[in-house]
Each structure stands twice: as C-alpha cells, then as structure tokens.
Structure 1
Amino acid sequence: DGSRFFALGEMMPLHADDGIHIGYLKILRDRTDQRLATDVLQQQTDLLQTVADHVSEAVFQLDLDGVVTFANRRAHTMLGWDAGMLIGQDLHEAAHHHYPDGRPFPASECNFVEAIREGKVLREREATFFRQDGTPVEMICSNAPIFRGEVLVGAVLTVSDVTKRRQDERRLQELNETLGELVAERTQERDRIWQVSQDMLGVADANGVWISINPAWPRILGWDYGEIIGKTSEWLEHPDDREKTRAEVDRLAAGGLTLAFENRFRARDGSYRTLSWTAVPVEGLLYCVSRDVTEEKERAASLLQTEEALRQSQKLEAVGQLTGGVAHDFNNLLTVIKSSTDLLKRPDLTEERRERYIGAISDTVDRAAKLTGQLLAFARRQALRPEVFDANQSVQAIGDMVATLTGARIEVAIRIEDESCRISADPSQFDTALVNMAVNARDAMDGEGRLTIAVDRASTIPALRSHPEQAGDFVRIALSDTGTGIPADQLDRIFEPFFTTKGVGQGTGLGLSQVFGFAKQSGGEVLVESEVGRGTTFSLYLPRATIEGSSLEDAASSEPTVDGRGTCVLVVEDNREVGLFSTQTLEELGYSTHWVANASEALLALAAKPIAYDVVFSDVVMPGMNGVELGREIRRLYPGLPVVLTSGYSHVLAQESDHGFQLLQKPYSVEQLSRLLSKAASRKRRKRVGGR
C-alpha cells in the first residue's frame, strides 16, 4: 500500500554445495512498533530534561549505590560542576575527595544513601552539601524511591539551596538577641528612672484616671499610692485650676499633640504644690511628667520683689541726685534774685545800680528757664517746635559760635556733605545740643586740641546700650575731640542729669542730658565712643526728612514791643497770681482784658459775647479741660478766633508739640507776650477785612 515501516536487516552469505560463494541472503525483521516506542520514550526524556532544567531546585537521580544517573542544570550550578559532569559520579565520592578529614557527604544527621537502599522516603531534611571548591551549601532535601515493578532500582533526590535564608535567619536571631538585650537594658533603665526620678511620672487613661504612678508622688504630695490610683486628680486640684486642667486633658485625649501647662495640687499637709505638666497621648493612654516648681516660683517671686525694691531704691537715689542738683542750682539762682530785690529796696540806690540789679534778676530768670528746659529735654518732656531744615547749613552757621566757645587754642574743623541733609527737629534745641557737646569736648581737651564736627548720612544706628541695630535713613552729626577720653565704667552714666566729672562750679551736669533727651524725643539716638587718652566721639543720629518744610513763626523776634490798644484779650489762667500779673501787664501795654479761671468759664464768656474778643490767651495745664482741649473747642465753635497757649511744662505738649496753636513758653518776657498777641489779633483783623 506504499506505507513505510522500520526494519532490522541481516546479511548472510550463500554457498553452493561445493563451497563456492554464490551470493547473500538478506533477512528483514519488522521493527516499526519498537522504533515508534523508542521515539516516544526519547520525546518524554527530552521533555523531562527540559522541565528539570528550569525548576529552581536541584534534581538528582541515583541508583542504589548513590551513583548519579541524572542531574539537572541547577544541580550542576549549585555544586559548581560543569554541565553533564555529575553523571556517573558517586555523589558521596564526588564531594569527599576534597576533604581529608573524611566528612561524609552529605554532611548531615541523615545518610541518604542508606535511605535509598532501604527504600525510605525522607521529606525536607536539613543537610550541608559542599561545592567543588569546598564552599558549604545549606540544603533542604527530599527523596522518593524508584521501582521497576516491585524491584527498587534507585531514588530521586530534590535539593533546595537555603544558605542565604539560613544566614538571614541567623542574623535575625542575632539581631533579636541583641535587641532583646538592649530592650532588657532599656527596661531596667526605665524602671530605675521610674523609681528614682525626682519628677512625678504617671500613666492615665483618656478620662484622666491614674493607672500607674512612680514613688515621687507620695514623696512630693504625701498621699499613698492607693489613694491616687484608680481616681482622677480632681480631688487634688486647686478649685481655681480644675476647669483649666479638665480642658487640657480633654484636648489631649481628643488628639492634641502635647499637653504643657501648670496647675496646683493639694498635698496631705493642706498646702498646695505648683506643678508643671508635660504629657503625650499614646494608644489611648496619657503619659505624664510633672515637675514640682513651687520653690522655683517662690524664688522667682522673691527675686521679683527684690528687683522691684532695687528699682525703687535706684529711683529714689536718682530722684535724690536730681532733686539735690535742682535745689543746688535753683538756690544759687534764687540767691541772686533775692539779693537783687533786697538791694532794690534800699532808699539811697542810684539809677545805675538799680538797672544793674534789675538786669541781674532778668539774666538769672533766663538762666533758670534754660535750666528747666534742659531738665525737660532730658526727660523728653520739652515742647518741641520741629521744622524741616538742612543740618549742613545749621552746623556751618553755628561753626563760628563754636569756635568762640572753645577758644583760640582749639582748632575747629567742619566737614559737611555736598548733598543736602534735611532733618525735622526743633532748630533751637538742635543748636543747643551742638553747643552742649562742643562745650563738653572743650572741657575734655582742657582748652587745647582739635574738634571735628562732621555731617553725613547713615543707613543704620549701631547697636548700643540695650538696643539692637536700627535700620533706616538718618543724618549723623559727629563731634570728635582729642581730649582725655571717658573711662569705660562712666560711659553709661554720662547722660544722667547732674552727673559730671568736672570740678565744683565747672558745669551743671545737664548739658549731655539735654542732648540725650532731644535725640530721643526727636526720634533719634546719641552714641558715644571713647578711648582714655585718645579722645571721644559723640554721634547724634536724627531721622532724615524727605520733604521740605517751612519755619514756624519765631516768638523771640527782635521786633519792638507792640502797643495793644484796641485789642481785647480773654485770659484763661487758673493760678490767681499769674492771672493777675498777666492782666495787669497786658493792661499796661494798652490791651483790654477779661480774666477767667478755667475753660468752662471761658466758653461761657465767649457764648455771652462771641465777637467781643480778638484773641484768647490760655494756660495749658488747668483742672478739667486743659488749654489744648479748650483751643480745639474754640476752633470748632469760633473758627476765626485765634488762640495763643502758654505753659511752663505740659505732658500734652511734650507728646504732640503745639497741636497747631501759637505757643509761648514760660517764663516769657513782656515783649514776647505783646508781639505774639498782636500778631494773632492782626490775623483776625485781616480775615475780617478780606471777608468784607
């Protein structure tokens, strides 16, 4: 039928009877089924080899003597053999020849060769194999016997490499042991801390019920362990602290991060201990640390009282020094005035002497006014009249006067900026501050040396005393001398009123105090740098003005006394003597006057005769409504009526200057009073004419 078949052929020679070779006889045997069976077997063998080479375990087939009849790729790589080289090897001998000490293969408590011969099945037994280079490999082994029919012919051995796993397990075990030792040590430390801590340690539930406390609780509060455990702290808390404590505990239990506050707990002896608490929530429990700060609080309170007492003592000392200085200087001035008035009473007094004594009284009054002005400037209570002016021009203008003050043996050098350095300050006080610093420098140089006055711009005021560095736009006026310098222990005192290192009668000790007060009240600062034997530099820092300004009218003009006839003045003065003197003075100058004692009476007088008065002349410091408040009310009710204010001192004026009103400082001269009132009244008359 044309199909093929597989045959096994044999060739046999043929001979005749006489032995002559006559040919061959070919005998064929049909082997088709056998060939097919062989092919199937080969295919199955190839498939088995492929599967075995791709599993992660080593697979061995051994005969009853332990000889390898099959080994997959993993078996060769695991033991370090080249491919196919394990076939025919005695598995025991293949590894044994590297080890002269005779260790069995595999090195384990279980002998697999014996198990194979006995037909035993072993599952996941631990063993140690050795690579060809001698490296140990830790294994998990299992075997299964192979039978042909009922005859045992060998076994299959599967091996898993667990070397890395075992190493990891050993490392983990070592780590656990180390960690266990560390935990044990930390536990012992925690227990020791718990026992010996001076702070109160405790664990409470979310409701604030104490679960555990350390021995510091009984030691600090005196209550026994059993009296606190199982309860909240409410019965211990000071009544004034319960609401705060409950709120903190609730906040912490609700998920707050940390509790930190103070409260008071009642001790067994009835006293209250102040406790500082810190607590954190962990898995529904509150872990708390409380420190007894009772003694710290008491020490702090005691220290505060001591510091307050020291401050009061220092204040009294300063007041004593200030009072003594004021009393000394004013008594000197009053002595001159008293002596002059006594001499004026003498009947045989000549006109020349009379004028001399009157001049002495006038000069002494001016000196007294200057003294009070310096005191007010130091205290930053001087009523300033700020103007915008160029510091360069003012320093240049006052240079000649400074040179006259210092004397011919002191060289005065002035260095100014090319660019304008405008400031907003009281020009009179500015000039006084420069003169005071120049006189101080002159005295430090004992009349001979060099004084340099420099003006420049600065972007910062250096850190000084207790103040940090201050950034801004400033003008710096620096006076540097070549004098004896100031010792370091006196630098912090040189601005104190009446503090001086000069001899008796050589100075009041108020010059630098005026500089200090003027700088502070003007929004600036004064800095001193000095080196003993080398000289001193005073630096006056004032805020730089960004806009031009106009000068206020100068009440001390050199204009002559003005006749006041035709001008009616409403005088508001609560002091009887001053009121009488003021009205009498004005009447002698030709003014008509009406004097009232306070602001309420002034408003009533104006309401009765609103057009009768040309100007209101009012003191600032009065009971009830002060002069500034009265001026504002008059401005609101009678917009065209001018108001002139006068004061020897007023904190209202010190804080906000003149509030836009004309201001006459006490003590004032008759000429100053007449000129200022006349100017104010003339403005009103000009407005009336313009209104017509």
Structure 2
Amino acid sequence: MSDPFRFLPSGGVTGAEIRARDWSDTSLGAPEAWSPFLKATLAQMLSCPTAMFLAWGPDLLCFYNDAYRPILGYRLDTALGRPFRVVWASIWDEIGPLVDATLAGESTTVTDMPLDLSRDGRPERGWWSFSYSPAIDEAGGVAGLFCVTAETTARVLGEAALRESEDHFRHTVELNPQVPWTCDPAGNITSFSNRWLTLTGQRPHETYGSGWIKAVHPEDVPSTVTAFTACLASGDPVDVDYRLRMAATGDYRWMRARAQPRRNATGAIVSWYGVVEDIHDRKLAERDLRELNAHLERRVEEVLAQRKLWADVFEVTDALVCALGPDYRLLAVNRAYADEFEAIYGVRPRVGDDLIGLLSHVPGQQAQARTVWTRALSGEAFTLVDEFGDPDRKRPCYELTFTPLQDADGERIGAFQYATDVTQRLRDLEQLAKAEEALRQAQKMEAVGQLTGGVAHDFNNLLTIIRSSMDLLRKPDLPEERRRRYMDAVSDTVDRAAKLTSQLLAFARRQSLMPEAFDVGARIAATADMLATVTGARIRVVVEVPSTTACHVFADPSQFETALINMAVNARDAMDGEGTLTLRLECRRGLPEIRGHAGTSGPFVAVSVTDQGVGIDPANLPHIFEPFFTTKEVGKGTGLGLSQVIGFAKQSGGDVDVASRPGRGTTFTLYLPQVEAPATDAPDEPKAVLDGRALRILVVEDNLDVGQFCTQILEELGHTTVWAKNGEEALAEVERDMDRFDAVFSDVVMPGMGGVALARRLRALVPDLPIILTSGYSDVLAREGTNGFDLVRKPYSAAQVAEAFRAVPGRLRIPAS
C-alpha cells in the first residue's frame, strides 16, 4: 500500500502529527486528494528552521512547522487542522485585516507588532515581526496564506531600555549645573550639553570647533587659549578660569574649565573629556575675603595706632582717670589722677596699691571712697557730683563717671572712673542761675506792669464815664431826656467793663465757661449775617461749610461766637474795611505742632478766618496773643480780642494757629476737639412763665454791699429773701427747715465753704431745690465748670436776675405782695 504522506520530509514532531491525523473529516479531505501545491508548500515549510505556518483551503486550516510550535502555547494540542481564525481568535481583531488583505492577493510585512498571545493562558506583552504571502494553487488562485514569523520582544524591550538609558543620561547631563564637553586631540569641540547653549545663547553650530571662544570675555581670551594650547601639547590636565557672557542678563560670570585626556593602548591621546562649572560666587567670595583680610590688616594698624594715641591721651589729659579691680587695687592710673589724689589726700597712688588702704589716715574720706567704689564695682554705671578730699588740705567738687570694666570675653574685672574738677563750673552755674532768676523776676514785673497798666488805663476811662455821668445825674434840674442818656451811658459802660474782665479771664483761661455740644457749621452760618454787619458793606463774607457732614464740638457757644467776631474784626481792620473775608470749616483734622507745642492726630474741627489784608510783621507774630498788644492806632483797639480767642481755645482743649505773609493776608485757624453728635432727646415740655409768683430765696453772699444790693433787687421783684453771709451759715439755714426755701442764689467765691461745694451739699440734702450760682471769677468754675448748676455772671443787672428766677417754680406758694 502506497504512503499518502511520502511528500513530507522525514523526522519532525509536526510531520508525525500530520501523518497521524485523520483528515477525511476536514474540508481538505484525504491527503491523496490534496493539491500538489499544498503538498509542496508543506514539505518546504517543515524542512525550514524558521517559524512558519500555512492556512489552506476555504476554512484556512492551520499547518505549521516545529519552529512555530512554541508560539502556539496552550493552543498546540488543538491547533493542527483547525481553522486559523479559531486558533487565533484572541488576536483576530489585530491580525484579521492582514489576513483579509493577504487573501485578496497582497503580500504584507509587519515589524514589531505588539500582540498578547497569552501562550500560557495569562496576558503577556510581546512583539512580533512577520510576513504574510498569498498561497497559490495549481489554478493560480489564492488558496490560503503563508506566514514567516519571529518574536522580537527581547529586541524591542532592549531597544526601549537603551532609549530610556540614553534619555536618562541626557537628562542627567542637561540637569547637571556643570557643562560636559569633549574635543579631539587638536582641541576642536566635538560635543557639549545643551546647558552651554542656554548659558551663552550660542546656536548649536556656533560652538563646535573653536567657536566656543566667542562667548569668553575678550580680556580672558589670550590667557585661556594659551593655557588650553599648552595642555593639548603636553597632555597635562586642563584647568583654567575665565569669564563667560550670560545670554539671559548680558553679564559675565566666572567659569572653571577642566578636562582629562583619554588615551588608546599605545598611550596616544584620542580625545579629551571635560566640564565647565560656574565658580562666580566662589570668585566673589575669594575677592571679598582678600578685601576683608586687607581691611583687617588696616584695622589692626589703626587699632595699634589708636591704642598708642589713647595711651598718650591717657597720660596727657587733664581728666582724672583710673581703674580698680574687685579688691580695690589700682589697675591703671594716669598722671593727672595721681597728682590730684596726692594734692587732696597727701599720698601718691601707684598701680597695684589698695586705694581704700591709702586713705586710712582720713577715716571719713575712706568711708566715702569705699561707698562710691563698692557701688561701681557691683557693675552699676552712674555719674555723681560731690566733694572729695581732706578738709585740712582742699576739698574740690568733682563730676565722676563710673563704668564697668570688662575683659575680651565680656567678664567684669573691675570699674573705670573718669573725673573732672567742676568746682568753678558749679560756681559759674550758681551765678548764672541767680542772674536768670533776677531776669525772670524783672520780666514778670514788666509783664505785670504792662498788664496792670493796660487794665488801669481802660478801667480809668470807663470809671471816668461813670463818675461824670453820676455827677451830672445829681443836678436837680436835669431834664428827663438827658437823665436817661446819662443812665444809659452808665449801663453801657458797666457792660464794657464786664466785657473787659471777661476778655482778661478768657486770656488767663479762668473764664467760667458754659459748654455744650453744638454743630459748628450751623453756628458759623448763623453768625455770618452778624459778621457782615460788623465788617461793613465793602467786605464780602464768604462761608465755606461742608454741606453733607455735621461737625460738633463741646464748648461755650457764646465764647465761640465772640472768638469768631474778634477774628473777623481783626481781619476787617487789616483790610482797611474792604476785601474778602473767608470763613472755612474742616472736620476731623489733626492738630498740628503750634508754637513749639506737640500736635496730635485728633480729631479736631478747624475753623479758619482768612483775610486779604496787609499781613502781620514777622517781628510781631510772637506777641499778637499778648493782652493789650496792638499795632492799631490809639482808640481803635484794646489789644484783648486775640487774647480772648487763644484763652477760649486753650480752655476748651484746642489751640489757635496763625499763618501770615506781609502784603499777602493772614489766616487764623481755631482748633477745637471734635465730638460725636449729641443724642436726640425728646423735646422738653415748655416751662411755664411764672411772672408775678413770689419766691422765698436764700441769698448767700459774703460781700456786704453786693449782698444788700442783691436782696434789694429780689425784694423789688416781689420775692422774700433770707441773707446768709457764708456757706456754712446757708447750710445751717436749710438744715433748720428743708422746705423753707423755693430757691438758693449763691456766690461762688467765699471764705470757707465755696458756692460750688455748698450747691453740692444742698443738692444731696434737697434734690428738688433750685440752685443758681453767681460769680465774676472762680478758679473752681474755670477748672471744673458749673457742675450742672445755672450761672449768672457778675456784674449782673436786675433784669438778668429776674430772668434767672422767672422759670423757678414756687415750692411754698407765697402769694405776690
């Protein structure tokens, strides 16, 4: 019987499996019917050592050689004679398009295709190269496909590892702050890292050969080329410093280039390997170190010279200088100290002597010296002025300064004394103090004389009017019209006298103010019309007040208006009655430094009055606020207007500043502390006018004439009065019967208990008892205010007294007489 597989080569595992398999149940049928082309291809494939497979027939049944068997893995047992698509179903998405192209007649070659063959049943990374070729039958048609394949996984992974290694090396080189480079034996640069290009800004082709030298500082090129050439010739290592231009900044930085030769087996140099490193900071540090060393050498010379100078000064100075150790022994002493010590104690000190022991013959002086030096040796630094010396010799006065004496480690090793004889200086100072006191007393007397002279002058004028009017009023046949005129003159003169005393008290800051919180802007606007009347028709009054912001101060509104009027009158006179007067208000200002007084951040309200007048002579500026100082003609001013302004400002916690240039006008600025707007209270019920109601009033007045006059006024007004001559007597009257009086009218300044103290005691005893105070001046009122009590200022008129008691309700309901 003939062998149907005689076309197969002998041997081989796959050939044996082909013979053993029953092919009759496949689409190929029995091997006797196989195509000669199939048999020839199988014979050739099985003889080839390269991995191959053949897919034949309409089902593309799978054949392969022994070299292909490992590729099949777990599929090996079932792959032979099975459809190719079934065998490689797991990778058909990848190879299916290649199969289709091959069956269409195209030959395809694929290199390093990644395929997961999962040969042992687990996923695996693998790469394959193969070529697909159409398998042709005897009719010339495509009967299948033929593939030659090889696994390239090892090569692909090796190349990837090589690339990774090269990339790692490249990054390592590029990140290295040094610049690696190579050159040939002739010194031509053959390679370098990109860092060189980054530093210098050169393009890659510029650096090769000798082009790198163009980036070197021109002054360093000759020395660098000389050193490099010498090393190339001798084979010695290269080590040269030069400055390299930095592309980023245009500056030059110091670099160090080093290189070693690489030799072949015969010892000949085949190339050079080197690096360039940045040594700029080190160069600068070396330069600074050299400069520091030079500086230290100079300092040593200076210190030595200074020591010699101090040694010379120590000996030639007139000051008394010495140093003591903790045991009171002299560590150092200059000639002046030794001479003076000998002069006042009779013994000459030397280095090493016990200073306290040298004074054993004068026990009192020994104790004094021990006390002072013990304090100094404890580490205290101090200065004292005292007398030292044996009273039987001489006892000058010295100014002694003691400081701790320390060694180089800061440890205290004693004390140092520097002393000078100040006996004559103290005598001179005493004489100077006496002279200054005499001068101050003379200036005080001059100021008092000026003030009293001014007051006497003005009061004499006022008294002249009063006395003349009173003499004329005594005439029995005086017409009524003239009588009224003289009476009015007396009344007006009294008002002027009261205003004069008020201005004097304001300047002295002793005016009894009645402060309240008010809107400055509203008050200025209300005063503007009155100012226009005061200044005259030819002066235009301009008011600049913030329209949206209210500024409040806590001050006496009457005194505020008076200050405005005084500044406005001053401005009117400076402009000779013609020009523009500007009132300006600014809120939340700081208080500047004024006349040497420190300023503060505030807040303050600033009210300025600006004129276009002749200005103030700089020589007069320091005196303009003095009472009775005036530059106006006789009869045109008292010199008290600005005194009132500054007194009011100071007493209210503010100040007044002035800015003036001759011929350019003047600005006075009144500063007052700004306060928050007062809370809006419910409107008070209007008090009933109680004209015609008789009251029982306790009058407290120590002045007999004023007391009699006051009680007469009150009785003329229909009230009943009881007069107490002092506070203690008044208190006793009230305590006798607390419902006895409807009101109290008390002077403030009295011997013993003052009016304010009395009012406080009465308020505690009878809380609903109305109390009205009266005073022409009170230090208590100037310092503390009225303490909430109503005040009638002296001199007062009968009308003012009547007005003060008009709204007082009767507690006892005494009918009017």
TM-score (norm 1): 0.68
SS at match of 2:504: helix
Note if contact 1:388-1:549 (Cα within 8 Å) is conserved in structure 2.
no
Q: How far apart are residue 356 of structure 1 and its match? A: 1.0
Q: How far apart are residue 358 of structure 1 and its match? A: 0.9
**RMSD, matched Cα:** 3.4
Is residue 488 of structure 1 aligned with residue 488 of structure 2? no
Q: Which residue of 1 aligns with 2:637?
A: 507
SS at match of 1:314: helix
SS at match of 1:544: strand
Q: How far apart are residue 636 of structure 1 and its match? A: 1.5
How many residues align? The count is: 507
1:337 to 460, 466, 472: 466
2:344 to 223, 237, 240: 223
* Correspondences of 1:219-618 after superposition (within 5 Å): 219-220=339-340, 222-223=343-344, 226-228=347-349, 230-232=354-356, 249-254=373-378, 256=379, 258-266=381-389, 269-282=393-406, 284-418=413-547, 419-548=549-678, 562-563=691-692, 565=694, 567-618=695-746
Find the aligned partners of 2:365 and 2:467 in 1 and give their Cα distance: 66
Q: How far apart are residue 251 of structure 1 and its match? A: 4.5
Find the aligned partners of 1:440 and 1:424 in 2 and give their Cα distance: 25
Q: Which residue of 2 aligns with 1:674?
A: 802
Q: How far apart are residue 176 of structure 1 and its match? A: 13
Q: How far apart are residue 368 of structure 1 and its match? A: 0.5
Note if contact 1:383-1:657 (Cα within 8 Å) is conserved in structure 2.
yes
Note if contact 1:487-1:532 (Cα within 8 Å) is conserved in structure 2.
yes
Find the aligned partners of 1:265 and 1:612 in 2 and give their Cα distance: 76
Find the aligned partners of 1:525 and 1:306 in 2 and give their Cα distance: 33
Q: How far apart are residue 192 of structure 1 and its match? A: 2.2
Find the aligned partners of 2:301 and 2:594 in 1 and give their Cα distance: 58
SS at match of 1:284: strand
Find the aligned partners of 1:205 and 1:639 in 2 and give their Cα distance: 76
SS at match of 2:416: strand
* Amino acid corresponding to residue 386 of structure 2 in structure 1: N
* CA distance 1:458–1:180, shift in 2 (3 Å): closer
SS at match of 1:194: helix
Q: How far apart are residue 209 of structure 1 and its match? A: 4.7
C-alpha distance after superposition, 1:268-327 (max 9, x if no partner): 643331323122233533222223333333333333333332222222111111111111
Find the aligned partners of 1:363 and 1:225 in 2 and give their Cα distance: 84
Find the aligned partners of 2:553 and 2:629 in 1 and give their Cα distance: 30
* CA distance 1:240–1:508, shift in 2 (3 Å): farther
* Amino acid corresponding to residue 546 of structure 2 in structure 1: E
* Amino acid corresponding to residue 625 of structure 1 in structure 2: M
* Amino acid corresponding to residue 346 of structure 1 in structure 2: K
Note if contact 1:259-1:279 (Cα within 8 Å) is conserved in structure 2.
yes
SS at match of 1:612: coil
* CA distance 1:409–1:288, shift in 2 (3 Å): same
Q: Which residue of 1 aligns with 2:219?
A: none
SS at match of 1:318: helix
Find the aligned partners of 2:495 and 2:633 in 1 and give their Cα distance: 24
Find the aligned partners of 2:812 and 2:367 in 1 and give their Cα distance: 74
Flag the structure with larger Rg.
2
Range 291-300 or range 513-522, more displaced: 291-300
Find the aligned partners of 2:300 and 2:468 in 1 and give their Cα distance: 101
Q: How far apart are residue 440 of structure 1 and its match? A: 0.3
Find the aligned partners of 2:424 and 2:733 in 1 and give their Cα distance: 66
Note if contact 1:257-1:281 (Cα within 8 Å) is conserved in structure 2.
no
Find the aligned partners of 1:227 and 1:494 in 2 and give their Cα distance: 65
Find the aligned partners of 2:493 and 2:680 in 1 and give their Cα distance: 33
2:314 to 169, 191, 194: 194
Q: Which residue of 2 aligns with 1:5?
A: none
C-alpha distance after superposition, 1:20-59 (max 9, x if no partner): xxxxxxxxxxxxxxxxxxxxxxxxxxxxxxxxxxxxxxxx
Range 304-313 or range 569-578, more displaced: 304-313
Q: Which residue of 2 aligns with 1:214?
A: 334
Note if contact 1:453-1:478 (Cα within 8 Å) is conserved in structure 2.
yes
Find the aligned partners of 1:236 and 1:648 in 2 and give their Cα distance: 71
SS at match of 1:226: coil
* Amino acid corresponding to residue 393 of structure 1 in structure 2: A
Find the aligned partners of 1:458 and 1:489 in 2 and give their Cα distance: 32
* CA distance 1:316–1:537, shift in 2 (3 Å): same
Q: How far apart are residue 615 of structure 1 and its match? A: 1.1
Q: How far apart are residue 671 of structure 1 and its match? A: 1.6
Find the aligned partners of 2:450 and 2:364 in 1 and give their Cα distance: 49
Find the aligned partners of 1:482 and 1:445 in 2 and give their Cα distance: 6
Note if contact 1:387-1:549 (Cα within 8 Å) is conserved in structure 2.
no
Structure 1: 5+ residue runs without aligned partners?
1-173, 687-692
TM-score (norm 2): 0.58
